[in-house]
Amino acid sequence: MGEVDTAFIQEPEHRPKLSPNQAEGIPIIDLSPITNHAVSDPSAIENLVKEIESACKEWGFFQVTNHGVPLTLRQNIEKASRLFFEQTQEEKKKVSRDEKSTTGYYDTEHTKNVRDWKEVFDFLAKDPTFIPVTSDEHDDRVTHWTNVSPEYPPNFRDIMEEYIQEVEKLSFKLLELIALSLGLEAKRFEEFFMKDQTSFIRLNHYPPCPYPHLALGVGRHKDGGALTVLAQDEVGGLEVKRKADQEWIRVKPTPDAYIINVGDLIQVWSNDAYESVEHRVMVNSEKERFSIPFFFNPAHDIEVKPLEELTNEHNPSKYRPYKWGKFLVHRKGSNFKKQNVENIQIYHYKIT
């Protein structure tokens, strides 16, 4: 082993002091105050909003239980995912994505990031999804993406659409709680999502990796959208960078729960009150792993900037405005073309 750089080792007394929430891992939040309509308790909802605020500030991640998404729909989509990925490579490639159609199947053999060890199927929440032709700010042309569906498993499209409908309802509920936690009107974010969403769902399959020290399921990254609502199986593997000390913390799977993380859009809208946090997926040498993230994204023509209610002369806007669709197209384009520079990030719009 090489020499250890002692400059980066913190003595125990100098390590950041962790709150109980930070020490235990990402919070688990019970959403029954807003999903159990038989009970109406304003104080319970107020406490729930405080839990959301604490989780967003300290972690940028949390898990939710009693979320209202029917278990049968989740079981259906998990089964469909397994059946699809069990097919031969030849069958899966019949619904491969390309530059014109960014939905469908791909594996890491055909991406620029060879360290990622997984295969994927993407499916749009809205079909068609309208999107700019290019990321050029001066090009106003709009095109659309559409879904492809495999012949197997049967009723694949119906299963996906039924599940998306329910997880989208959950996403709107979470946005309301986040808005309230920021001191905003509950429906403040709704206008960005009511027309021409660019949300999509992703089926992930991580095969067993014989060299887990050489690969990751997904490398360290932040999510560019508003919210990610993740269903993961019992194998686990998701790790979150804890804000307090920058340590990587494994997220323990909670049966039937969803893992939620705030994305870059929430960070910009909140003017850095809440932060999008780095995360990654570790591979397993013995077990395959499945996960299903739903990426909740606004319409392509939304101008993203800090909300007026959250900025003033003492807390000025920290970001220049940018168009969400242009940002998304730039990100997607990097999947097919080798970039000479780093892919676009929100800090490129940071006002310094």
Give tens-digit pLDDT for 227-257: 999 999 999 899 999 999 999 999 999 999 9
Enumerate the β-bridge partners of residue 303.
323
Q: Does residue 7 fall inside a structural domain?
A: no
Mean pLDDT (the chain) is 89
302 domain residue, yes or no: yes
DSSP 184: S
From residue 88, alpha-carbon distances to 85, 139, 254, 322 in Å are: 8, 41, 31, 42
Pick from 90, 136, 57: nearest CA to 327 = 136
In a domain, 294, yes or no: yes
Confidence of residue 81 (pLDDT cuts 50, 70, 90): very high
Say yes or no to pLDDT of 9 above 70. no
Q: Please give the pLDDT value at position 179.
A: 98
CA distance 110 to 36: 45
Q: How many residues does the chain have?
A: 352
Over range 77-83, report the average pLDDT: 98
Alpha-carbon distance of 265 to 113, in angstroms, equals 24
Structure tokens at 53: 């605020």
182 Cα distance to chain centroid:
20
Cα–Cα distances in Å, from 98 out to 109, 114, 145?
A: 14, 18, 11
pTM of the predicted model over 0.85: yes
Question: Which of 78-82, 94-98, 282-286 shows the lowest mean pLDDT across its residues?
Answer: 282-286
> pLDDT band for position 295 (50/70/90)?
very high
Q: How far apart are CA 171 and CA 8, in angstroms?
A: 39
Q: Is residue 6 part of a domain?
A: no
What CA–CA distances, in Å, run from 322 to 305, 319, 325, 348?
7, 9, 9, 10
Query: What is the count of structural domains for the chain?
Result: 1
Strand partners, 65: 30
CA dist 246 and 249 (Å) reads 9
* Residue 293 to residues 9, 31, 107, Cα–Cα distance (Å): 35, 19, 16
Task: Confirm whether 84 is domain-assigned.
Answer: yes
pLDDT at 10 over 60: no
Provide the β-strand partners of residue 260.
Answer: 62, 229
Nearest to 299 by CA among 134, 162, 125: 125
Question: CA 208 → CA 38, 82, 111, 285, distances in Å?
Answer: 45, 14, 19, 5
User: What CATH number does residue 184 fall under?
Assistant: 2.60.120.330
Q: How confident is the model at residue 115 (pLDDT cuts 50, 70, 90)?
A: low
Which residue from 2, 289, 329, 278 is spatially nearest to 136, judged by alpha carbons? 329
Q: Quick one: how far is CA 222 from the chain centroid?
A: 8
For 28, half-sphere exposure in the C-beta direction (CA atoms, 13 angstrom radius) is 11
pLDDT at 110 over 90: no
Structural domain boundaries enclosing 277: 19-349
Does residue 320 lie within any of the structural domains? yes
Q: Which two tokens stand for residue 348?
A: 């490129």
Instruction: Answer whether residue 4 is part of any domain.
Output: no
Residue at 239 is within a domain: yes
DSSP category for residue 13: G
Work out the pLDDT band at 6, boundaries 50, 70, 90: very low
Q: How far apart are CA 291 and CA 251, in angstroms?
A: 13
| 331 confidence band (pLDDT: 50, 70, 90) | confident
